[in-house]
Chains A and B, each alone.
Chain A
Amino acid sequence: MEIEGLERILREHSFFAGLGDAFLALVSGCARNVRFEAGHYLFHEGEPANEFYLLRHGRVALELHAPGRGPITFQTLGEGEIVGVSWLIPPYRWAYDARALTLVRAIGVDAACLRQKCEADHDLGYEMMKRVTSVLIQRLQTTRLQILDVYGTHS
């Protein structure tokens, strides 16, 4: 797909809402269209965080494996959401598995490419940091609720 088409898709994705055209052009230079069949993994725990994904279609499960229990899904993500936030924060390594639950169409962003551009242009880096931090805070808050086990018999 042409860069111009990717820029339009990125502009419409909620993760990049409000990002200026110049920055969008920089990001789109690191982006590509990707597709995962149901059951395929986008990435695995412990792997280098080389590419993160902006979901356009389909659903992805974030999973942790526990001995004797198999994969435990702690969150599912869908259209308009981002899969993978560890790409911006050292040591740039995934902390869980991400598995396509359905056919997934997404924009994959080369993390090393975008990190280099963030280092070269701290204004872009700050924009990325604000967006990633917002996702991290939301996920931290929902994790707190899960830990509270609000539907347990103590509630």
Chain B
Amino acid sequence: MSTARIADTDGTTDPMVPRLARIARRRRDGPQVWTLEIEAEDSAGAAFAPGQFNMLTAFGVGEVPISLSGDPAEPDRLVHTIRAVGPVSTALARLGPGETVGLRGPFGVGWPMAELAGHDVLIVAGGLGLAPLRPVLYRLLAERARYGKVVLLYGTRSPQEILFRREIESWRRRLDIDIEVTVDHALGDWHGHVGVVTTLIPRASFDPAHTVALVCGPEVMMRFAVAALRDAGLPDTALFLSMERNMKCAVGLCGHCQIGPVFACRDGPVFRFDRLRNVLAVKEI
């Protein structure tokens, strides 16, 4: 398991107090989806591990957890991909270059990068779930020789909603990564796969005995993806999920993001599946 941990409690800063940051760049990445690159006003970068998240404040509106979606090798560029669905995310997505946001983080336990070395890596992403996995892909591709086969299976709603399309096309041109993209529905002008992302799993080429799978997307999609991965022969100890919950304090104090015995903000958001196996089936959690 990754040892990436809360990186903010050094005794001199209060993790509950936001730093000020400015929007440096804003790019539309799909219907209602925007990618914001922000820079902290104190110029201090924030090294982060793939899979960690920041708390972003739209002043006067509220604060939300947003995964880091940029390159961990460039910690000065804090990149977040946001879907405008609620009041806070909508307010954040409307901010333009030069405008100010509040920034706390990075928080949480990220993807198990150390465990991936020497293994095949199977990434299963659904919808906006590709955003927290993009830092993993940057790292894997930057250190390509350290890993076995790398496979990305990505599913989304429609061809118009494919996230990071240009980057996916660029990665596809490499000869050292297998990428399959599928959409749930398509009209006649789409020539790729159609069907849910789980249908790509039996078709993918990987050795289940030497593969670690990283899964991120809506919880229903992850449940079915896990079932397909187990059917393919992966043990529960080789499955990692990133859980989306209602993080508030982000440091394991308030309990809003509790999943049974664990807090998503402090113990996750990335969990090895065997830690969640018994609680995922509980509808009340």
Binds A, one of B9-17, B48-56, B99-107, B186-194: B186-194
B242 within 8 A of A: no
- Also in contact, A73 and B218, with CB within 8 A (given A78-B203, A151-B157): no
Q: Mark B199-223, 1 if CB is under 8 A from A, else 0.
A: 1000100000000000001101100
Binds B, one of A85-93, A105-113, A139-147: A139-147
Residues of A within 8 A of B59 (CB): none
- Also in contact, A142 and B188, with CB within 8 A (given A148-B220, A150-B220): no
Residue from the list A71, A141, A153 in contact with B83, Cβ < 8 A? A153
Give min CB distance, A87 to chain B, whole Å.
21
Residue from the list A70, A74, A80 in contact with B185, Cβ < 8 A? A74
- Which residue, A69, A80, A155, has most C-beta atoms of chain B within 10 A? A155
Residue from the list B184, B187, B190, B224 in contact with A151, Cβ < 8 A? B184
B85 within 8 A of A: yes
Interface size class of A (residues with CB under 8 A): 20 to 34
- Also in contact, A73 and B203, with CB within 8 A (given A142-B196, A150-B221): no
Residues of A within 8 A of B188 (CB): 63, 70-71, 73
Q: Cα distance A63–B188 when bound, in Å?
A: 9
A101 within 8 A of B: yes
Residues of A within 8 A of B85 (CB): 153
Q: Are A73 and B194 in contact (CB under 8 A)?
A: yes
A4 within 8 A of B: no
In the complex, how many residues of chain B place their beta carbon closer than 8 angstroms to a beta carbon of chain A?
Answer: 31
Q: Are A152 and B157 in contact (CB under 8 A)?
A: yes
Give min CB distance, A74 to chain B, whole Å.
6
How many A-B Cβ pairs are below 8 Å? 72
| A77: nearest chain-B partner, CB-CB | B195
Q: Are A145 and B185 in contact (CB under 8 A)?
A: no
Q: Cα distance A152–B196 when bound, in Å?
A: 14
Q: Are A155 and B218 in contact (CB under 8 A)?
A: yes
Decide if the interface of chain A is mainly helix, strand, loop or mixed. mixed
Residue from the list B128, B192, B195, B220 in contact with A142, Cβ < 8 A? B195
A50 within 8 A of B: no
Residue from the list A72, A149, A153 in contact with B187, Cβ < 8 A? A72
Residue from the list A80, A142, A151 in contact with B126, Cβ < 8 A? A151
Q: Are B220 and A73 in contact (CB under 8 A)?
A: no
- Also in contact, A101 and B191, with CB within 8 A (given A142-B196, A151-B127, A153-B83): yes
Q: Are B157 and A73 in contact (CB under 8 A)?
A: no
Extra A-B contacts (5), CB below 8 Å, given A71-B188, A74-B195, A151-B127? A71-B187, A73-B188, A73-B194, A151-B161, A155-B220
Residues on B lying within 8 angstroms of A by beta carbon are: 32, 83, 85, 126-128, 155-157, 161, 182, 184-188, 190-196, 198-199, 203, 217-218, 220-221, 224
